[in-house]
Structure 1
Amino acid sequence: MLEFGMLLIMIVALVGVVAVYLRGRGSFRPAQGETGTLYVTGVSPRPDDLVGEQFVTITGNVTGPTVQGTVVYGRFAWDVNAWPSIGDLITVVYPAGKPERWQIAHPGARPSLGS
């Protein structure tokens, strides 16, 4: 009887560990989220004396199928030769109903010109 109890405790513990692991991995899945557009309203200055990727802070409004004009910001590594500017449109993904958790849809892609 003691062996059965220990086996049951070990199985429950294993199921708990697997559940925590899977829940942590699935906290944000862009494939299951919504696709929207970020209209850039602010961007940190482009570094003049540096090359390659540098950090940029972007502020803008995300619009999508279920959200309209939610103000967001984020920090990314960006190539200084393709620095974003105000007015750019960037395709983003975010969990349904949570645009504040946005990510760039294709990190290698560069923004299209807004106007």
Structure 2
Amino acid sequence: MLEFASLVILTAVLVSLIVFAIRGRHGFRFADPENGTLHVTGVSPRPDALGEQYVTITGNLTGPSVPGTVVYGRFACDTNSWPEIGDFFTVVYPPGKPDRWQISQPG
């Protein structure tokens, strides 16, 4: 009986690892993402270094199922196109989970 239980547990772990490996290879995708708008209310200072640097953005996200939620995120951004307070970005997020937003890529 103990051998059977161990076999079932090992099989479940193996299947889980395979699913995570396949999911990781294809990247994370939203099943049916919602589009929303992020109004930037706070942004980290632009560094003196040139090129791509990390920026932290705080803002108010609104969308079809989100009346207005304060969110934040950290992204890599070129210092020549650093976001500013008052900017608006089109974002996507899983329905009902605005805290998992991503800036929508054009095209």
Q: Verify same fold: TM over 0.5.
A: yes
Tell whether the 8 Å contact from 2:91 to 2:101 is kept in structure 1 after alignment: yes
Q: Where in structure 1 are there 5+ consecutive unaligned residues?
A: 1-5, 110-115
Aligned: 1:22 with 2:19: yes
Q: Which amino acid aligns with 2:14?
A: V
Q: Which amino acid aligns with 1:38?
A: L
CA distance 1:35–1:50, change in 2 (3 Å): same
Indicate the residue corresponding to 2:37 in structure 1. Answer: 37
Q: Provide the C-alpha distance between the structure 2 equivalents of 1:89 and 1:30, rounded to a whole number of angstroms.
A: 22
Tell whether the 8 Å contact from 2:38 to 2:91 is kept in structure 1 after alignment: yes
Q: For residues 50-84 of structure 1, what are the alpha-carbon distances to aligned partners after superposition, in whole Å with 9 as ceiling and x for unaligned?
A: 10001110000111110011000011110000000
Listed as ranges, the matches of 1:84-99 within 5 Å are 84-99=83-98
Q: Provide the C-alpha distance between the structure 1 equivalents of 2:13 and 2:79, rounded to a whole number of angstroms.
A: 46
Indicate the residue corresponding to 1:102 in structure 2. Answer: 101
Cα RMSD after superposing both structures: 2.7
CA distance 1:19–1:91, change in 2 (3 Å): same
- Give 1:38 shift: 0.7
Q: For residues 81-114 of structure 1, what are the alpha-carbon distances to aligned partners after superposition, in whole Å with 9 as ceiling and x for unaligned?
A: 00000111111111110101111121xx6xxxxx
Q: How many residues align?
A: 98
CA distance 1:35–1:23, change in 2 (3 Å): farther
After TM superposition, the score normalised by the length of structure 2 is 0.75
Secondary structure of residue in 2 paired with 1:22: helix
Indicate the residue corresponding to 1:113 in structure 2. Answer: none
- Give 1:35 shift: 1.1
After TM superposition, the score normalised by the length of structure 1 is 0.70
Q: Percent identity?
A: 62
